[in-house]
Structure 1
Amino acid sequence: MRIGLFIPCYVDQFYPKAAIATLQLLEKLGLDVDFPLRQTCCGQPMANSGFEHLTGGCNELFVDNFAAFDYIVCPSGSCTLHIKQHLHSHKNEAAATAIRGKVYELVEFLTDIIKVKHLEASFPHKVGLHQSCHGQRGLHLSQMTELVAAPYSKPMQLLNMVKGINMVPLKRADECCGFGGTFCVTEEAVSVKMGKDRVEDHVVAGAEYITAADLSCLMHMEGILRRQNSPVKVIHIAQILNAAL
């Protein structure tokens, strides 16, 4: 299978190590991965702000970049969900439709498509797992605690394969961090308070690192941690799954 690596613009600009870890991890698993150099923003920020009608250029470029691949893999739940639900093309709607059915967030690709059972990874630290809203409620990477249903967590399934890792228990396992894309700008005070509450849960649990499948959430919490002069760090799940002694 040919894999197209979709790296969201904010990951490319602010967290390139997570992008590199994603590529290395996929290649370690024996996959043929290509990174289209002309890719840029998927259009989610505009759509979230009510300007989806202005994302045509982003959509057409995405189709041009990724139509030829068997699968498209992305280390961001929110960007993946945006493409799954909103990608259209005036030039080639058939290609856009096909892409919506073959784009996957990294965790769901590893668990659902290639069905990883073992990882040669080691990360001897205390880690708290943040269940990002887009991944949990949109992509169903984990069960929502308010539902009377059997619990599951695809990120935790992979993290449990990592040697030496100590996953700390949280009081509110699936609480929103408050980032919410442009919500953190339009509702700054609410966003900050939610972020502080989310961070405190991890700190009280003794986490050295907070991980997630969405770097936008981690970026929000990292800002709060830095302002608190906290030693707790954030790290994308790909960097843990790719880590070795």
Structure 2
Amino acid sequence: MAENGKNVGLFVTCLVDLFRPSVAFAAVKLMQDAGCEICVPERQTCCGQPAFNSGDMADSRAMAQMVIEEFEGFDYVVAPSGSCAAMIVKHYPELFKDDVDWHKRALDLSGKTFELLTFLSDVLGVEKVQATLDRKVTYHDSCSGLRELGIKEQPRKLLDSVEGVELVEAEQAERCCGFGGTFCLKFSDISARITDDKCEDLLKTDAQTVLGGDLGCLMNIAGRMTRRGEMVEVRHIAEVLADMTTEVPPISQVKE
């Protein structure tokens, strides 16, 4: 378990910064409640994942170098996103495999970087939160978080401590939502079909709220639900754990 007072750098992520800042505020609250000192470096930028997935290694390395320089002085680095955390943990060392100095620096950062829920549960040893949500919910496991970082039980364990929540598992909770970063742009027709299948699976649970740990997935699901006219809330789980649901509206919801 991490000692109280550890200096944590918050990697906000592009989507959270530009579209859903409340997720970052929720992350800060949760970690401060657990005794951490949080810093948000102002010069941080994209983790480089879109460029990496598109084969642009030069720009990926340039962005990775900036991230490494900004965050290597912290005890821990935490991101409220499985995909961005996985980029740093799994792919930064790969980007610099032919550069001894930068490879070491990438490995060092990789070793102390965590996705938010994993950090709370596995590193800080947080077992419960003070939050209330009287709703039936279902949880979407993002591809990167689940398959690259093994995030599965951590969100569910923390969610179990939220008063009033009833978690109903979807049959295909681990199935892709169709977002995939640039995939939804390159293969929009395929992406839309995958997202429709995902929405159908989530709706079968009769849950009032869909939760997840990756904003890209959640925005994709919320957008499709809205276009279908479905009355379902979509939220990042950090907002629920931080007890912010009465202060912050859902990501997207059709109004009556």
- Paired position in structure 1 for 2:224: 224
The one-character-per-residue Cα deviations of 1:136-184 (angstroms, maximum 9, x if unpaired) are: 1110112xxxxxxxxxx22111111111111123122211111111111
The alpha-carbon deviation at position 42 of structure 1 amounts to 0.7
- Following the alignment from structure 1 to structure 2, what is the Cα–Cα distance between the partners of residues 56 and 195? 31
Unaligned runs of 5+ in 1: 143-152
The one-character-per-residue Cα deviations of 1:13-63 (angstroms, maximum 9, x if unpaired) are: 011111111111111222111100110101000001111232222112101
Runs of 4 or more, structure 1, over 4 Å off, are 88-92
Question: Is the counterpart of residue 141 in structure 1 residue 146 in structure 2?
Answer: no
Percentage of matched positions with identical amino acids: 37
- Paired position in structure 2 for 1:176: 176
Give the conservation status (yes or no) of the 8 Å contact 1:43–1:52.
Answer: no
- Paired position in structure 2 for 1:164: 164
- Paired position in structure 1 for 2:238: 238
- Paired position in structure 2 for 1:198: 198
Amino acid at match of 2:36: L
Question: Residue 41 of structure 1 aligns to a residue in which SS?
Answer: coil
Give runs of aligned pairs for residues 65-76 of structure 1, distance below 5 A. 65-76=70-81
Question: Is the counterpart of residue 116 in structure 1 residue 126 in structure 2?
Answer: yes
- Following the alignment from structure 2 to structure 1, what is the Cα–Cα distance between the partners of residues 227 and 182? 21
Give the conservation status (yes or no) of the 8 Å contact 1:119–1:241.
Answer: yes
Question: Is the counterpart of residue 12 in structure 1 residue 10 in structure 2?
Answer: no
- Following the alignment from structure 2 to structure 1, what is the Cα–Cα distance between the partners of residues 91 and 203? 36
Pairs aligned (count): 235
Two-structure CA RMSD over aligned residues (Å):
1.5
- Paired position in structure 2 for 1:52: 57
- Following the alignment from structure 1 to structure 2, what is the Cα–Cα distance between the partners of residues 62 and 202? 35
The one-character-per-residue Cα deviations of 1:106-144 (angstroms, maximum 9, x if unpaired) are: 1111111011122111111111100111111110112xx
- Following the alignment from structure 2 to structure 1, what is the Cα–Cα distance between the partners of residues 88 and 57? 12
- Following the alignment from structure 1 to structure 2, what is the Cα–Cα distance between the partners of residues 107 and 17? 16
Unaligned runs of 5+ in 2: 1-5, 247-256
Give the conservation status (yes or no) of the 8 Å contact 2:92–2:106.
Answer: yes
